[in-house]
Amino acid sequence: MEVTRYQSHAVSVIEINHPPVNALSSLVCQALFKEFVEASKDPSVEAIVLCGANGKFCAGADIREFKSTSLMKTISIEDINGNIESCKKPVVAAIEGVALGGGLELALSCHYRVAHIKAIVGLPEVLIGILPAAGGTQRLPRLIGIPAALDMIVRGRHVPATEAFQLGIVDQVVQTNAIDAAVHLAREIIGKPLDNRRLSTLPVQYNINIEDFFDNALKKAKIQFFGAQAPLACIEAVKASVELPFYQGLKKEQELIASLVTTGQPQAQQYAFFSERNAGKWTLPSGEGWDNVSPKIIKTTAVIGLGTMGRGIVTSLSKANISVIALEQDEKQLNQGKKAVISLLEKEAEKLNKQGKSSSFANGLGPVHFTLDFGEIRNVDLVIEAVYENMGLKKKIFQKISKILKPDAFLCTNTSGLDIDEIASVTNRPQNVIGMHFFSPANIMRLLEVVRGCYTSPITIATTMSLGKTLGKVAVLVGNCPLFVGNRMLLPYVEQAGYLLEDGCNPEDVDNALEHFGFAMGPFCMMDLAGLDVGWRSRMEKGLTGDRVPTGTPARQRQGNRYCPIADMLCELGRFGQKAGMGWYKYEKLGGRKASPDPWIRDFLEKYRNTHQIKSHVINSEEIIQRCLYVLINAGFKILEDGIATSPEDIDVIYNNGYGWPKYRGGPMYYAATTGLAKVYETLDRNYKANPDIPSMKPTFLLRKLVAVGEPPLKEWKTQLGNLNNKL
Ligand SMILES: CCC/C=C/C(=O)SCCNC(=O)CCNC(=O)[C@H](O)C(C)(C)COP(=O)([O-])OP(=O)([O-])OC[C@H]1O[C@@H](n2cnc3c(N)ncnc32)[C@H](O)[C@@H]1OP(=O)([O-])[O-]
């Protein structure tokens, strides 16, 4: 039964029961409508309470039912809302757990709302590419005013119960059972007037210049959410609450949602939503996986190395209230690390404070302990090594700690691309060794690549994936290969960006095209931020530049393939990016963030092209996007072929959460599917034939095969490979 009803004296309690989150599916809507009508007609019922089973009010419309072209149901959520709001008997919502999207819209149509202190409310539809189109954009501004409502709706913010009370969204916050409290309130208000509790009948109150306010909001949103259509539609809908009578406002919501669907963005964002949830459902070829391997509970941890990554990881663990011993090799670095962690934790506490939440670290370091003594980590459950990327150093540390730690402790390495098996091979428990590739800043970025080596046991995977979730990360299991998934795909993308400079572009042409596509940052801005010396050092280690390049090697060639040495040349001149005040761009000062195109670079590129007799040509944005993205996508197909990622969805989750890919485009593999695999294949094939010295352009076997079999849906791509390879 999706909806049940029972009576407590004169109060009828209607409970939504649709696990896991009581989403409003068509069946739930029909049942809710029916039960509500019956309760409202029943003469023995004098008041009604709406609630959700299993400690959750309702997470909104059932996203699984959204079809690509229509969001309509036989009975819409707004049909139910209208009925509730106009009911002559008082209706109280008892909010436990979550009241999100259609769930909050349902609660807003009730005459009163009681929330449990731990509940959260919000209208997060914007995050899945739509708007709160069941009256949310019309009722919320009438309840809490335009600025507060707009902020919640445009950002899709989750609001904790205490803040919801301050804003006036809920009438009571209780520490005990919210349903009992709602029933109690319902009894008290029987027979009392309800006219000013029906939000649709109230005027929207404001004392601001509405035209200016919405113009500014639109301008800001166009910058902040560049390219995304849903935030703009949300603003238009809230504006309609002021300009139009309530029922016309509802019509406007419907028009806006219908027009959003035609952009393809809701479909992409809903795909991203479910991909993210599926990423946690890892399964090995052996059948062992998330649903049959139990993780070990991790209570105590240690982090070795307090550089940028280590500090972020310590902060992350501490935020999750997991005890952590932070270890450094000398007093100076320990103190610097400690200062940095304190400052990060203070910022986190401030953030929580603003949300009305308390933190265990508000007045200090919470569960963090700093030490120079390896002996102190002896009894921890799990260690994360976060020293800099040097195989020799990492192996030394792993050898040492595997002798010290208790036998069942887990050993994790934070690396962005080193071989997990080589690191594991020096320990006395390779089955407990795993990669945890955090992204910088590690206390903020949501992505975590969990890297399985060939020895890693299922329980080590389960424990690390579960720890990732506890830390609030989106953990994705990947296989062990140089650079893993995200960075491996980035390599040909950055390489192409270099070739584009040789062929006639300036850095800003490439960045502008890709930022216009929706990336948070183009490749040259990204390199300036990360520091050009990082890639330079790695190329030196690989013998691509520096003393180890054999004499006589042509400047623009390595092992017979095309090579662009421009980044190396900038590094030789000390142009390391933001930290040097110059890189691909110039900056206002050392460490400055405001990039301006540098005439010096233009000059330099022109001379470079002359020296190498390169005929430049005008390159438009479309060519820039295709050249950079298609090689990145091609690398994604190779990763699937090699069994390094479980699915194209996992690759998209990695790009959406760690590489600034615009979520409204779903991710690179989803983008390839919507662009058309044949187009991607043909473009790559043509470009490869013209440039056989760029191997990353050669279409992969999987891409070719998928085109040959008629471009099956993304969910079926992996089945085309059979059991070719699986490193997971
Ligand atoms: C018509 C226009 C007006 C109305 C529009 C709307 O309401 S739009 C909606 C507006 N509402 C939202 O956007 C809310 C979206 N949801 C959330 O933000 C979070 O899921 C959460 C905070 C509710 C729970 O977080 P958590 O970390 O505790 O858990 P978790 O995230 O892992 O999810 C657990 C399971 O529930 C599933 N599932 C969840 N929600 C829905 C749904 N609405 N539908 C269907 N399924 C949903 C989820 O897929 C997963 O399934 P699985 O993999 O087990 O088969």
Q: Which of 164, 115, 160, 161 is nearest to 144 (CA)?
A: 164
User: Under a CB-based contact definition with an 8 Å cutoff, are residues 649 and 275 in contact?
Assistant: yes
- The 10s digit of each residue's pLDDT in 87-141 is 999 999 999 999 999 999 999 999 999 999 999 999 999 999 999 999 999 999 9
Type and span of the H or E element at 95: strand 91-95
CA of 62 relative to ligand 1 center, distance in Å: 8
pLDDT in tens, 695-724: 999 999 999 999 999 999 999 998 887 755
Please identify, by atom number, the ligand 1 atom nearest to the C-alpha of residue 61: 7
pLDDT of the residue at 73: 59
Q: What number does the ligand 1 atom closest to the CA of 274 have?
A: 49
For ligand 1, atom 30, name the residue with the nearest CA.
277
pLDDT digits 0-9 by tens, 284-337: 989 999 999 999 999 999 999 999 999 999 999 999 999 999 999 999 999 999
Q: Tell me: the pLDDT tens digits for 635-668?
A: 999 999 999 999 999 999 999 999 999 999 999 9
Other Cβ atoms within 10 Å of 291 Cβ, number: 8
What helix, strand, coil percent values describe the chain, rounded to 5? 50, 15, 35
Q: Is 261 in the pocket of ligand 1 (CB under 6 A)?
A: no
Ligand 1 contact via 134 beta carbon (within 6 Å)? yes
Rounded Cα distance, 484 and 467, in Å: 20
61 CA to middle of ligand 1, Å?
A: 9
Q: For residue 676, how far is its CA from the centre of ligand 1 (angstroms)?
A: 29
List the one residue out of 26, 2, 24, 25 whose CA is nearest residue 15: 2
Does the pTM surpass 0.90? The reply is yes
Q: How far is the CA of 19 from the centre of ligand 1 (A)?
A: 10
Q: Ligand 1 within 6 A of 20 CB?
A: yes
Question: Which residue has tokens 């010396």?
Answer: 533
Atom number in ligand 1 closest to CA 66:
1
474 lines ligand 1 (CB under 6 A): no
Beta partners for residue 98, in sequence order: 120
The number of the ligand 1 atom at minimal distance from the alpha carbon of 124 is 13
Regarding the beta carbon of 61 and ligand 1, being less than 6 Å apart is answered: yes
From the CB of residue 88, how many other CB atoms can be counted at a distance below 10 Å?
Answer: 6
Cα 621 to its chain centre, rounded Å, is 27
Best mutation site among 72, 126, 277, 291 for ligand 1 pocket (most ligand atoms within 8 Å of CB) = 277
Nearest CA to ligand 1 atom 54: 20
- Nearest CA residue ID for atom 23, ligand 1: 59
Percent of the chain with pLDDT over 70: 96
Task: Please state, in angstroms and rounded to a whole number, the distance separating the CA atoms of residues 151 and 515.
Answer: 25
* 60 touches ligand 1 (CB under 6 Å): yes
Query: Active-site residues: which are they?
Result: 105, 125
- The CB of 19 under 6 Å from ligand 1? The reply is no
Scanning 229-326, the segments in alpha helix (DSSP H) are 230-243, 246-261, 265-279, 308-319
Cβ–ligand 1 contact at 293 (below 6 Å): no
- Separation CA 340–CA 471 (nearest Å): 19
Rg of the chain (C-alpha set) = 28
Say if CB 56 and CB 22 are below 8 A apart: yes
Rounded to whole angstroms, the Cα distance separating 174 from 462 reads 36
Nearby residues of 620 by Cβ (< 8 Å), 6 or more positions away: none
> How far is the centre of ligand 1, averaged over its atoms, from the C-alpha of 60 (Å)?
7
According to DSSP, residue 593 is labeled -
Contact between 514 and 621 (Cβ < 8 Å): no
Binding site membership of 407 for ligand 1 (Cβ less than 6 Å):
no
What's the pLDDT score for residue 24?
Answer: 97
Q: Which amino acid is at 174?
A: V
Query: Is the alpha carbon torsion for 107, 112, 118, 122 positive or negative?
Result: positive
Does ligand 1 lie within 6 Å of residue 552's CB atom?
Answer: no
Number of neighbouring beta carbons within 10 Å of residue 550 = 8
The domains found in the chain, sorted by start residue, are 3-261 (3.90.226.10), 300-485 (3.40.50.720), 505-611 (1.10.1040.10), 621-643+646-721 (1.10.1040.10)
Q: Is the pLDDT of residue 366 over 70?
A: no
The closest residue, in CA terms, to atom 44 on ligand 1 is: 62
ipTM summary value: 0.99
Can you tell me which residue has the tokens 């599916």? 25
The residue nearest atom 32 of ligand 1, judged by CA position, is 277
Tens of pLDDT, residues 48-94: 999 999 999 999 999 999 864 455 556 789 899 999 999 999 999 99
From the CB of 133, is ligand 1 less than 6 Å away?
Answer: yes
Q: Tell me the two tokens of residue 358.
A: 């308390």
Separation of alpha carbons 262 and 258, rounded Å = 7
Q: Are the beta carbons of 543 and 648 closer than 8 angstroms? A: no
Q: For a pocket test of ligand 1, which of 58, 63, 259, 465 has the largest count of ligand atoms closer than 8 A to its C-beta?
A: 63
Do residues 361 and 279 touch, judged by C-beta distance below 8 A? no
- What's the pLDDT score for residue 371? 97
Q: What is the pLDDT of residue 365?
A: 60
* pLDDT averaged over every residue in the chain: 95
Query: What digits encode the pLDDT tens for the residues 400-443?
Result: 999 999 999 999 999 999 999 999 999 999 999 999 999 999 99
If one counts every other C-beta atom within 10 angstroms of the C-beta of residue 379, the result is 12
Span from the CA of 21 to the centroid of ligand 1 (angstroms) = 7
pLDDT for residue 69:
47
Given this model, what pLDDT does residue 541 score? 87
Question: How is residue 296 annotated by DSSP?
Answer: P
